[in-house]
Every structure is written in C-alpha cells, then in structure tokens.
C-alpha cells in the first residue's frame, strides 16, 4: 500500500511546480522558452540538490543531477522526463517522471549507502513542440541529433533557436558537448502518465511500454490570393483557408486508413486573417503517428500527393516541408522484463502497451536501451487542464521505479 507520507512528497512537488505557470494562459501552461519555465527550473534544481544530487546545466539547457556510484567504471543509469508543457496543458505530463526520479534518489539516500552505479536524473529541455517547429530539444542534443540547421530555425519574431536556448541557460556554441559519448549511459527509464484511458479501463495501476509510435510532422504552406470578400465572385477565388480545410480533411482520411495510425492538424495560421478578405495564405502543421514504419512511409507519399493536388483544385499552390520524422521506437526487452518484475514485486500486475505519445525516450534510444512505465490518467485526458493522476497512483509508479533502479543500479 502507498505510504501517504512518501507518496505525498512526489505529489506535493508536482503541485509546487504547477504554481509556476504563465499568467493569463489557460490550464497549467509553462512553455519551453517562457520566463516561467526558466523560473520553474530553479525549483527543479533546488529539489534535485536537496535530494542529494550534484546538479549542472548542460549546453542544451538540460538539468542533470548526479548521484555518484561506488563503481566509476560502470555507465550511468539515466532517469528523466521533461517539465515544459503544451499551451493549456496539465500538471503531470513530464513533471511526473522528473519528480518521481528525484524521489527515487531520496529513497536511495534514506536507505543509506551509495548505489554501485552512478544515477543521473535529467530534466530534458523542451520536450513539447515549440515555435521553432521541433520537439525534444534537450534529449535531441544528448543523442547528437540537434543539428546546426535546427539551431538556425526561427520563430515568428525572427529569433533563432540558438538565441532562445542561450536565454534559458544553454550554450549553443558548445552544443556538441551536450552529446553523450558512447558508454556514458547503461539504460534510460522514464516514468510518465499514460495520457490515454487503457489503464483506467482495465483497472490497473501500471503499464510497461512496449514501443513508442513514430511521429512524422510536416509544415504545409498554402499560397492563394487575397481578394475582396464582397466583390470577388465565388468562382474567381484562390482561397487558402478553403484549401487548408480540404487538406485537413484529407489528413484525417489518411489517419483513419487501415486503423493503423492517427493523424492531426492541430495548428493553423492564416493571413491576413480578416473577416472581409479571402485568405491569401494558410500555414498548417500536420502530424501522423503509428507504430508501423511502413504505414508511416506510405502516408508520407500520400500526404505529398494531397498537398500537390487538393489545393490546386482551388487555384492554390501547396508546398510541404518536413519538420521531423521519428520512426517507431522499440523498448528494450531486458529492461521491460526488469520493469515487469519490479511492478510485480510491489504487488501490481502491469499491462503491456504501446505509447501513442512521443517522449524523450525516443531520442534516448539512440544513446542506450530505453524503457518506460505508465501510471493512469483520469478519463484518459492529457494535453489539457483536466489532466489528472491520483497521488496514490503516482506513488505506485514511484515505488515501481525505485524497485527497478534497485535492480539496475544498487
């Protein structure tokens, strides 16, 4: 049974972090390059330090807390997640894994003695998609996947990702040093909220993740012609908004294909975005996800055809630029076994599930074997203010993580 005192500790940390949010924004918004995100990480730093971790910030802006093991020859065991949120997001997606990892270190220290293997707790910078069009900035850098081209991406104000990174304590000129050389890490474990309803429906407290869906994300630009909304006859328009509507419906159709994936247009910008002007330009971001690499590759080709043909029927020119193409990630068999055994050790019979959400674990899979644990999300809600996991459920996840770390590092 959960000890309410220790269970309350992780939960209390989550609630403290949730106090540092962007004013005037819905839900618990703390986007990656906001002042509040920067401020919130002072709290994360403080929590890491008071748990007994030696804390540093790497050139990619990741916060890394080290608990030195007794055998310096052994590669470190990595625990982590992220503390940024989507706009209008919740309090658990990301922070749950960071706070539970800090608690694991507290409990190891309370037991007394040092672990055999060094443990790093990482709060990865900016896991959620940002205004520069990429996600997982910090873990991407650790994996050596943050390129000079990425650093030159600009947001709407013209600021580069390099400048934004420097403003949150990173050092873009030394970004290569954030990449971990081979042999740094033995394994990566991430505790996360499920963000779906399968655990709740099965009345289970834990899931061991089998694989993480690949995500392909593209920016689609639609160039029409601005015209007077009253004087331009209906058959003489090149309406970028209507082309965007057609493309969005096609994207939905692609996502419904064969029941093997999902697809979303979650962002749309219009110019001039005026009630009495036919839209001249629309820029949307389409993403689709699947655990099946072949389905993803076929969908790439189909989307390309959609962008060439659907807007043209309305006299609008379409073009597509890929923002990211992450392939599905398989969680390591041996770590999954450790997580299953750890869950059973604390009296839980976990589900085994694929993740339809993306995670820092995807980038970390290029560095070392990875595995993930899920705890339930009430009503399956996530990326919204209603996101919720009970304190007792957080505690079950934390205890399973402690058990796994004990097997792998102590």
Interface of this chain with ligand GLV, residues 341 to 370, rule: CB under 6 A: 357-358
> Binds 214, which of Mn ion, ligand GLV, none (CB < 5 to 8 A, cut-off by type)?
none
In angstroms, what is the minimal distance from the CB of 86 to ligand GLV? Answer: 7
- The residue nearest ligand GLV at its CB is 357
- Residues from 115 through 154 that contact ligand GLV (CB under 6 A): 128
Q: In this structure, how many other beta carbons lie within 10 angstroms of the beta carbon of residue 234?
A: 6
Give the β-pairing of 207-212 and 351-355. parallel
Residue (of 318, 303, 131, 325) closest to 220 by Cα position: 318
Minimum CB distance to Mn ion, residue 394 (Å): 15
Residue 331: DSSP 8-state: P
Total residues interacting with ligand GLV, rule: CB under 6 A: 3
In this structure, the strands spanning 370-375 and 207-212 are antiparallel
**Structure tokens, 404:** 């796994």
Half-sphere exposure of 232 (CA within 13 A, CB side): 14
Task: Decide whether 58 or 93 has the Cβ nearer to Mn ion.
Answer: 93
290 burial (CB, 10 Å; 0-12 / 13-18 / 19+) is buried
Q: Which residues make Cβ contacts (< 8 Å) with residue 396, sequence separation at least 6?
A: 2, 205, 206, 346, 348, 375
Distances (CA, A) of 387 to 93, 135, 181, 193: 8, 20, 36, 9
Q: Among 92-100, 160-168, 290-298, 344-352, which window interacts with Mn ion (CB under 5 A)?
A: 92-100
Closest by CA position to 372, among listed 141, 179, 213:
213
Q: How near is the Cβ of 8 to Mn ion at its closest, in Å?
A: 23
Window contacting Mn ion (CB under 5 A); options: 48-56, 86-94, 287-295, 319-327: 86-94
Tell me the HSE value of 328 on the side-chain side, using a 13 A CA sphere: 23
Name which of 66 and 85 has its Cβ closer to ligand GLV. 85
Measured distance CA(54)–CA(76) in Å, rounded = 14
Do 207 and 352 form a contact (C-beta atoms < 8 A)? Answer: yes
Q: Which of 27, 94, 205, 318 binds Mn ion (CB under 5 A)?
A: 94
Smallest distance, Å, CB 329 to ligand GLV? 12
Residue choice 36, 58, 93, 326 for contact with Mn ion (CB under 5 A):
93
Q: Is the peptide bond before 60 cis (omega within 30 degrees of 0)?
A: no
What is the closest distance, in whole angstroms, from the C-beta atom of residue 359 to Mn ion in the complex?
6
Q: Say how far residue 318 (Cα) sits from the centre of its chain.
A: 29
- Strands 185-193 and 76-82 turn out to be parallel
Q: Give yes or no for residue 89 binding ligand GLV (CB under 6 A).
A: no
> Toward Mn ion, which CB reaches closer, 151 or 372?
372
190 makes contact, choosing from ligand GLV, Mn ion, none, with CB < 5 to 8 Å by partner type, with: none
Nearer to ligand GLV, 118 or 195 (CB): 195
Q: How far is the CB of 357 from ligand GLV (least distance, A)?
A: 4
Could you say which of ligand GLV, Mn ion, none residue 358 binds, taking C-beta under 5 to 8 angstroms by partner kind? ligand GLV
Looking at the Cβ atoms of 11 and 124, the one nearer to Mn ion is 124
Task: Return the number of the residue (358 or 397) whose C-beta is nearest ligand GLV.
Answer: 358
Q: Which does 84 bind (CB under 5 to 8 A by kind): ligand GLV, Mn ion, none?
A: none
Q: Residue numbers of the site for ligand GLV (CB under 6 A)? A: 128, 357-358
Q: Residue numbers of the site for Mn ion (CB under 5 A)? A: 93-94
């Amino acid at each position: 049974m959960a000890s309410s005192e220790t269970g309350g500790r992780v939960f209390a940390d989550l609630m403290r972090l949730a106090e540092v949010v962007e004013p005037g924004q819905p839900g618990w918004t703390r986007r990656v390059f906001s002042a509040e995100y920067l401020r919130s990480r002072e709290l994360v730093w403080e929590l890491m330090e008071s748990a007994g971790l030696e804390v540093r910030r790497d050139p990619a802006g990741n916060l890394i807390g080290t608990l030195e093991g007794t055998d310096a020859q052994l590669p470190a065991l990595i625990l982590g997640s992220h503390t940024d949120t989507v706009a209008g997001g919740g309090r658990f997606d990301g922070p749950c894994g960071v706070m539970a990892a800090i608690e694991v270190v507290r409990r190891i220290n309370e037991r007394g003695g040092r672990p055999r293997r060094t443990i790093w707790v990482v709060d990865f910078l900016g896991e959620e998609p940002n205004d520069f069009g990429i996600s997982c900035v910090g873990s991407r850098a650790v994996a050596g996947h943050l390129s000079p081209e990425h650093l030159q991406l600009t947001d709407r104000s013209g600021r580069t990702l390099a400048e934004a990174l420097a403003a949150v304590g990173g050092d873009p000129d030394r970004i290569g040093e954030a990449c971990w050389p081979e042999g740094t890490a033995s394994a990566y474990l991430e505790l996360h909220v499920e963000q779906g309803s399968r655990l709740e429906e099965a009345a289970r407290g834990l899931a061991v993740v089998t694989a993480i869906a690949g995500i392909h994300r593209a920016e689609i630009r639609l160039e029409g012609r601005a015209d007077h909304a009253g004087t331009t006859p209906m058959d003489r328009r090149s309406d970028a908004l209507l082309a965007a509507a057609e493309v969005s419906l096609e994207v939905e159709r692609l996502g419904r294909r064969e029941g093997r994936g999902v697809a979303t247009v979650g962002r749309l910008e219009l110019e001039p975005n005026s009630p009495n002007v036919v839209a001249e330009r629309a820029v949307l971001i389409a993403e689709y996800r699947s655990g099946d690499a072949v389905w993803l590759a076929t969908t790439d080709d189909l989307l390309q055809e959609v962008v060439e043909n659907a807007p043209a029927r309305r006299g609008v020119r379409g073009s597509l630029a890929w923002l990211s193409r992450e392939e599905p990630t398989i969680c390591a068999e041996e770590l999954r076994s450790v997580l299953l055994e750890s869950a059973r050790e604390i009296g839980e019979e976990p589900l085994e599930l694929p993740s339809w959400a993306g995670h820092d674990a995807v980038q970390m899979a290029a560095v070392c074997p990875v595995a993930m644990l899920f705890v339930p999300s009430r009503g399956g809600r996530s990326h919204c203010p209603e996101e919720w996991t009970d304190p007792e459920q957080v505690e079950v996840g934390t205890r399973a993580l402690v058990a796994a770390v004990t097997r792998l590092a102590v």
